[in-house]
Chains A and B, each alone.
Chain A
Amino acid sequence: MGMLGRTAKGVFWMARYLERAENMARLLDAGHRMALTRDAVISQNEWRSVVETVGQTAAYKQSHGTYTGIQVWNFLLREKGNAQSVLAMIESARTSARSVRTALTREVWEAINESWMTLSAMLAKPVREVSLGEVLATIRRQATLVRGAVEGSMLRNENFNFFRIGTFIERGDNTARILDVKYYVLLPSLAWVGSSLDNVQWDSVLRSVSGERAYRWLNAGAMDPRGIAQFMILDRRFPRSLAFSMDKVRSNLAGLAHQYGQETSAHEQVRASGSQLHGLSIDGIFDDGLHEFLTQFIACNRQVAQAIERDYRFYA
């Protein structure tokens, strides 16, 4: 017998909200660091691209005319008018967790509940620059605690698989969006592809996926856009790459098929997109257009998510 469809939905979305909140903290961290090293104009552009990456440009423009750091991070962290703020996502994650309380271990529930208590207290008032670093670190740490509780206490069954699938669907999507926006900001025309680039800007891209140290270690410190793209898209060792995320979605879907004794349309879809990714080289991706590739990846990822919601009866 399977778990309740509504419960699967709750676990899946709880994982997505948490992952999204955590990635938002990384993105803001990278944006802040970038803005500190630039002049005012470039800094505005940097903050604009952060808002664009998370798809909140329209909502942001409704209440703000300029892109100063303090406006942007408060908007993305806690502003009431922003239904996608970190605070709203942590609340959504906790609401999801509460509604599927019986599918979670006590450790997981308490980790989520504590995250919510800690972050809602921290984000109750506007965040000043002096405390931004601590707030962002806390968001990442709380998400890590929840993930650790899941790893350490949950039975490896459908609940766990739905949590992992939610995590990696979201992570793949977020990494792809970061790349896509940065690609545009950094390379206004295709003629620039492969030309010499500002190391600081690429460093900021890596930082937004917490990949700067791993990349430097693998490449002895050399910054090269193609290498960075290869790393973030195709490197199966890097836990925030598209290939890694796709692999994890596939293996956790396989876990579901194993438990339930049958595959669904989601399995076919993820196999198709996975094998497509496997056959690609970074040169091929650049030749065909990085933006086109990323757009397609985001769409495929979304289709897999939709197939999962349908196949596993998330909704009545």
Chain B
Amino acid sequence: MSKKPTCYDEMYGPDGAVRPGYAGYCEWYGQQDVNVLRRKGKEAEGFFRTTGITFNVYGDDAGEERLIPFDMVPRIITAAEWRKLSRGIEQRVRALNAFLHDIYHRQEIVRAGRVPERLIARNAAFLPQMVGLKPPGGVYTHIVGIDLVRTGPDDFMVLEDNARTPSGVSYMLENRETMMAMFPELFSRLSVCPVQDYPRRLASSLAACAPSCAGERPVVAVLTPGIYNSAYFEHAFLADQMGAELVEGSDLRVVDGRVAMRTTQGYQPIDVLYRRVDDEYLDPLTFNPTSMLGVPGIMDVYRAGGITIANAPGTGIADDKAIYSFMPEIVEFYTGEKPLLQNVPTWRCSEKDSLDYVLDHLAELVVKEVHGSGGYGMLIGPTSSKKEIETFAAKLRAKPYNYIAQPTLALSTVPIMTKAGLAPRHVDLRPFVLVSPKGIEITPGGLTRVALKQGSLVVNSSQGGGTKDSWVLED
């Protein structure tokens, strides 16, 4: 390596020695012709185009489909690292579900004074319509994505919880397919935990959450906003892989107290709806009255126990970054255990002392909107100009409760393939978690997102990030 990374590199130690998890890979890599590898990288792009693994970018040329850049160097996690991580993830997801159940029922955590009431009651993501409603199977977050970052050998921290509609799992699956097609010999040399049964697990996890009115084989459907949605490929992919119907709002209506889809043989009831449509658009009779994407009356059916909606409406409150700052308390309150996974230290700008500190240190902090996502509307102090910081400070003063701040983390790096050979880039990791009354299942690995620009900390695909295949090695 020509340049020593300034932060934790997952492949090489500070002395340039290969870390144990990467030993097998590096041995193989040393035997390869770099030009051949690069050519294979180009082939992979062609493969993605043909299979149509694209996402639509909002605001750009209407309907333009783009590829998320794929890097051919895997991100490797050892079995021991993964065991530790998955225990922490399971604990956190258990707590998230308990928290959601609680805030829509007795709000014990508020009564206990552990989370301030205003954060719940005045939160736009809190849905009063969900109060007292018991979702089938008692599950709120059927599918969760936990965004993790790493800053040291044993330091994994949760950056964000995605309890609303975590996306990206199709990339996890297609990245693995691509790697197996490109480098079959790697998979015969190294034992990598498989991820391919995710769709089957998802289908059975969703079926296990079916309402009591469902038959022996519950009917599962994926609800998509349609082909112009940025994640349409993923919706179609998952429906296809699960053998479920891919439906749009216009296919559905309430018939005899059930949500039913229009088939060539008339309306057929659906038991479980894996919806990739936001809460707001789910039911024009309950939420946004202008929505064309949802099903009028679906919330009435839901209240009556006639359908499972995954994830449950109102789970977005757990994604809120102000709630996030209370996650250590939340985990402890519901599990009675110390959190196994740490939060990133977070200043709530709604608190005066914190706000003052944040305003004084903007140049070194990352400031995010509490409801924001996708890397939009945030400030990264160290890479921003004076002018940008001043503009942001004005926004922050005007609506302090709308922001939280975190230190700029030295995210770990993993090498990517560049024209000049391997070069370190910052990464994060989104493992995918399934929740049903049968239990919690975590797919080994997840989606590694990588900032392709040298030095950049922004891994979001909408902002020039790419992805890597993520390997968990078997013992």
Q: Which residues of A contact B (CB under 8 A)?
A: 1-6, 8, 95, 98-99, 101-102, 106, 109-110, 113-114, 117, 158, 256, 260, 312-313, 316
Give the residue of A106, A110, A113, A316 whose beta carbon is less than 8 angstroms from that of B250.
A316
- Which residues of A are found within 8 Å of B239, using beta-carbon distances? 102
Known pairs A117-B49, A158-B264; A101 contacts B240 (CB<8 A)? yes
Asked whether any CB of chain A lies closer than 8 Å to the CB of B143, the reply is no
Q: Are A4 and B50 in contact (CB under 8 A)?
A: no
Given contacts A1-B263, A5-B264, A316-B251, 20 further A-B contacts (CB under 8 A): A1-B265, A2-B263, A4-B245, A4-B261, A4-B262, A5-B263, A6-B251, A6-B262, A8-B264, A98-B52, A102-B240, A102-B245, A109-B51, A109-B52, A113-B49, A117-B49, A260-B264, A312-B264, A313-B263, A316-B250
Contact between A95 and B268 (Cβ–Cβ < 8 Å)? no
Q: What residues on A are CB-neighbors of B247 within 8 Å?
A: 4
User: Does B236 count as interface, using CB distance less than 8 angstroms?
Assistant: yes
Partner of B264, one of A2, A98, A109, A113: A2
- CB neighbours of A106 from chain B (8 A): 51
Contacts of A117 in B (CB 8 A): 49-50
Given the complex of chains A and B, what is the CA–CA distance between A158 and B263 in angstroms?
11
Closest to A95 in B: B227
Q: What residues of A have a CB within 8 angstroms of the CB of B248 in the complex?
A: 6
**Assembled-state Cα–Cα distance A102/B234 (Å):** 11
Query: How close is B310's CB to chain A, nearest CB, in angstroms?
Result: 18
Query: Is B22 engaged at the interface, CB distance under 8 Å to the other chain?
Result: no
Bound CA span A106–B50, Å: 10
A260 CA to B266 CA in the complex, in Å? 11
> What are the residues of chain A within 8 A of B262 when measuring CB–CB?
4-6, 313, 316
C-alpha spacing A6/B262, complex, angstroms: 8
CB pair B226 A99 closer than 8 Å: yes
Q: Nearest chain-A residue to B264 (Cβ)? A: A2
User: CA–CA, A8 to B251, complex, Å?
Assistant: 12
List residues of chain A with CB within 8 A of the CB of B49.
113, 117
Asked whether B246 is an interface residue with its Cβ less than 8 Å from the other chain, the reply is yes
* Chain B interface residue bracket vs A: 20 to 34
In the complex, the answer to whether B263 meets A3 with C-beta atoms within 8 Å is yes
Q: Would A4 and B250 count as touching, CB distance under 8 A?
A: no
Q: Given the complex of chains A and B, what is the CA–CA distance between A313 and B237 in angstroms?
A: 25
Does B227 contact A6, Cβ atoms closer than 8 Å? no
- Report A13 CB to chain B, min CB distance, Å: 14
A1 to chain B, nearest CB (A): 5
Is the CB–CB distance between B50 and A110 below 8 Å?
yes
Specify which of B52, B240, B251 is in contact with A4 (CB 8 Å cutoff): B251
**Interchain residue pairs with CB less than 8 A apart (11):** A3-B263, A4-B245, A4-B251, A4-B261, A5-B251, A5-B263, A98-B52, A109-B51, A109-B52, A256-B264, A260-B265
Query: How far, in angstroms, from A256 to B264 measured CA to CA in the complex?
Result: 10
What is the bound-complex CA distance between A101 and B234, given in angstroms?
A: 11
On whether the beta carbons of B251 and A1 are closer than 8 Å, the reply is no
Q: How far is the CA of A2 from the CA of B264 in the complex (A)?
A: 5
Interface 0/1 of B243-265, CB less than 8 Å to A = 01111101101000000011111
Q: Top 10 nearest A-B pairs by Cβ distance?
A: A2-B265, A2-B264, A101-B236, A2-B263, A312-B264, A102-B240, A102-B246, A5-B262, A102-B239, A99-B227
Q: Is B334 an interface residue (CB 8 A)?
A: no
Report the separation of the CA atoms of residues A98 and B263 in the bound assembly, to the nearest whole angstrom.
19
The CA-CA distance from A109 to B233 in the complex, in Å, is 12
**A118, chain B: closest CB distance, angstroms:** 11
Please give me the residue from chain A that is nearest to B236 by CB atom: A101
Which residues of the partner chain B approach A102 to less than 8 Å between Cβ atoms? 236, 239-240, 244-246
Q: How does the 8 Å CB contact mask read for B165-189 relative to A, with 1 for contact and 0 for none?
A: 0000000000000000000000000
Cβ of A305 to closest chain B Cβ, rounded Å: 15
Is the pair A3, B264 in contact by a Cβ cutoff of 8 Å?
A: yes
- Complex: A316 Cα to B260 Cα, angstroms: 12
- A260 partner residues in chain B, CB cutoff 8 A: 264-265
* Cross-chain contact A113 with B52 (CB below 8 angstroms): yes
